[in-house]
Structures are given as C-alpha cells and as structure tokens.
C-alpha cells in the first residue's frame, strides 16, 4: 500500500511485481483509480482496511476535491481523530462526526507546518503523514510525543520514501523534518517482498508439523519489514532456518521451546501467530507491551483469550499483555468452533493447527482475503507434501 501511494504521488506509473491480490490492496487500487479521475466529488469504500483508510485520508487534501472515505462496521469503530487533527493543523479541512470513519475531506489544500503526534496509538498515522508532507507546499516538522509503538513499520515507510527519491530528516524517531514541494523520482518497476506477517503462519505451521519443510519464496532475513523478526522468534522456539536463492526454508527442531516473557511492541501483527504456538509449549509465555492490539480489526487480546480458553488452556490478559500456560500434550475430545471476529489474523493463526484436530472448526474462513487470499490453498499444498 505504501508503494502504491508513493507511485501515485510521484506520478510514476510503476509496474509492480509480486503485488498481492488481497482485499486491502484491491481497495487501495480502486481508490487510487477514483482519485485519478476528473470527478470533483468522490466516494471511497475501504472495508476494514486500516492502512488503506488512513493513507488515503492523509493524501486526499492534496487533490482539492470533496472526498468521502468510509468502511465496514468495524472500520467505523476504529479511531482516526488523531490523524484528522494533525492534517487539519497542516491546513486541511477534514471532518468526522465520531472520530472514526466515515471521513469527509473538503476541497482545501493542506500547506504544511509543525505538528505533534502521540507515538503510542498507531504507527499508520505517522506513516501516512510522512508520505503526505513531502508534497505539501511548505516545510513540515512532525514531533513524536510519548513512546513510539511499532517502530519497524515506520522504518518501512522511510525506506520506501527513499526509494522514490523523497527526503525526510529523521531525528532518532523523535522528530521528522520534511522539506516541502518535493517531486520525488519516478520508479519504473518495483518488486514487492513477500509479506513477513503472513509468512509467519507458514513458519509456525512448520513447527507444528515436524515432518514438513516450508519454503517461503521472495523473503530473506535482510527484509525491510520489521516482522521478519518472526524468524528469530521461531529459531528461539527451536526451528531450523536456512536460506537459498529462492528465499527461506523453515523446519521444526527436536522440541518446541517456550518463548517465555517477550516484548512484541515492535511486532504486534505477530502476536497471534506466537500465542497459538505458545499453547503447545511447556511453561508460561507472556507477550507484553501490545495494548494497541485492542484497536485492530477486532480487540485481538480479548479475541485470543476467548478462543484459546476453549482448548482448556490457561490464558490471562491485561491492558497490554497476554499470558498463556501451554500444554505440549494438548488433545481435544470435543468439538471446538473458533470465532474469527471477521479478523484475518484470527483465522490464520488457528489455521496452522486445524488439520491436527479433526474436531476443530474455524468459522468465516473467507476473512483471510483481507491480506492472504490463497492461505487455505497454500495450507492444503503443505498438508499434501
């Protein structure tokens, strides 16, 4: 989504390789096509796509059009007021009755300026502003207050800005200084890395199936994505990991080891993967500093607690943590239905164990199309290997 936005803003007409056909990306592509039109009034629907909604809200004030952005019921509960306030301080005219979508962008061009933004809510707000501000007429400064969460996602944004020839001065992630009126560079072709967050489920599948070896193409340990850390987490749990020319190979080790206490503030999208793996380890796993999981596609801390407890596993959550006491000999003799809360990650994290428990059923499997359309097909391929 970042690459699509930057191609649009730099008028690059980039040819993308390995672009996923997930819902989030399709919503972005449809929206950008509408924004390119000559229409002065535009209505955009983004489903439950957080990055799509926030990135589009940020760049819309450049276009001097009346733009309405709305999503599904859950998206209408996900906060965006902090981003709207920051954009209005930069000179935009954006309104929202509830502080969540729907959002109305009035045809008034943002100019630039100095703003402050809390770093402990959503990194997507910061990424959105970093992509907007180089194209504003005046210089801008973005000051980060409070502790910065999900820093690796901002690093992806800075990396891509650089690839499109856009300059941002980063002062230790506490302040970003951005020159206005930048043009950037036209990027003719761009290869999208395999998604590390999605790949984590395939790696976890390998650990739960010691007879399988999983090859993930187009993903290497030097990835620009923060979630590539999933390889380190898997290794700590006993995985054997190798690289070849195609990508990364993951295989289970002799024993599935416990992660213990681990801070996943920088990798919140991996919490689901490792919470499910923790169910099958000996000892206590405590994943901390992840309170922003409460404002994702669902309240993921609550959702994980609800579903893991169905297995008879001891699980506890607090404002910013989840604690799981695993059972390596876990068996199921009753039918268990997993609620997915229309959250792709809830479906995928439990998907890695579905074939191990015949009485396990995952509801609303189609929700994985948000980020990984071929997920279930890929699992079937691995099962047959």
Q: Is 269 a catalytic residue?
A: yes
Identify which of 260, 236, 272, 264 has the alpha carbon closest to the alpha carbon of residue 372. Answer: 272
CB 290 within 8 A of CB 318: no
- Please give the Cα distance from 305 to 105 (Å, whole number): 38
- Please give the Cα distance from 124 to 267 (Å, whole number): 14
Segment (H or E) for 279:
none
Q: Which of 24, 227, 269, 342 is catalytic?
A: 269
- Please give the Cα distance from 110 to 59 (Å, whole number): 9
CB 130 within 8 A of CB 143: no
Over its C-alpha atoms, the chain yields an Rg (Å, rounded) of 21
CB 359 within 8 A of CB 335: yes
178: exposed, middle or buried (Cβ count in 10 Å: 0-12, 13-18, 19+): buried
Coil vs helix vs strand at 47: coil
- Please give the Cα distance from 365 to 213 (Å, whole number): 24
| DSSP 8-class letter at 363 | S
Catalytic residues: 269
């Amino acid at each position: 989504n970042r690459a699509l936005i930057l191609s649009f803003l730099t008028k690059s007409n980039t040819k993308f390789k390995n672009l996923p056909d997930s819902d989030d990306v399709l919503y972005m592509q449809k929206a950008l096509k509408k924004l390119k039109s000559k229409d002065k009034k535009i209505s955009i629907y983004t489903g439950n796509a957080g990055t799509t909604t926030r990135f589009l809200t940020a760049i819309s004030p450049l276009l001097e059009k009346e733009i309405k952005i709305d999503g599904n019921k859950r998206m209408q509960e996900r906060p965006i007021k902090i981003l709207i306030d920051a954009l209005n301080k930069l000179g935009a005219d954006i309104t929202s009755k509830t502080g969540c979508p729907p959002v109305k962008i009035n045809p008034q061009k943002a100019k630039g300026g100095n703003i402050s933004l809390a770093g402990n809510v959503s990194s997507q707000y910061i990424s959105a502003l970093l992509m907007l501000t180089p194209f504003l007429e005046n210089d801008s400064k973005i000051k980060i207050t409070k502790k910065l969460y999900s820093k690796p996602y901002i690093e992806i944004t800075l990396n891509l800005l650089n690839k499109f020839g856009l300059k941002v001065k980063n002062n230790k992630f506490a302040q970003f200084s951005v020159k206005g009126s930048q043009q950037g560079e036209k990027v003719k072709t761009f290869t999208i890395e395999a998604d590390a967050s999605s790949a984590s489920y395939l790696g976890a599948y390998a650990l739960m199936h010691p007879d399988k070896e999983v090859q993930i193409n187009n993903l290497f340990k030097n990835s620009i994505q923060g979630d590539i850390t999933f390889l380190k987490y898997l290794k700590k749990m006993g995985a054997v990991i190798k690289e070849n020319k195609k990508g990364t190979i993951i295989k289970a080790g002799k024993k599935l080891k416990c992660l213990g206490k681990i801070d996943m503030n920088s990798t919140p999208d991996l919490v689901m993967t490792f919470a499910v793996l923790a169910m099958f380890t000996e000892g206590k796993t405590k994943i901390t500093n992840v309170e922003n999981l409460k404002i994702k596609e669902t309240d993921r801390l609550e959702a994980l607690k609800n579903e893991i407890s169905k297995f008879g596993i001891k699980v506890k959550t607090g404002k910013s943590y989840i604690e799981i006491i695993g059972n390596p000999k876990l068996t199921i003799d009753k039918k268990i239905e997993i609620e997915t809360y229309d959250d792709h990650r809830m479906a995928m994290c439990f998907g890695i164990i579905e074939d191990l428990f015949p009485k396990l059923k995952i509801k609303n499997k189609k929700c994985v199309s948000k980020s990984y359309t071929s997920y279930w097909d890929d699992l079937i391929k691995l099962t047959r290997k």
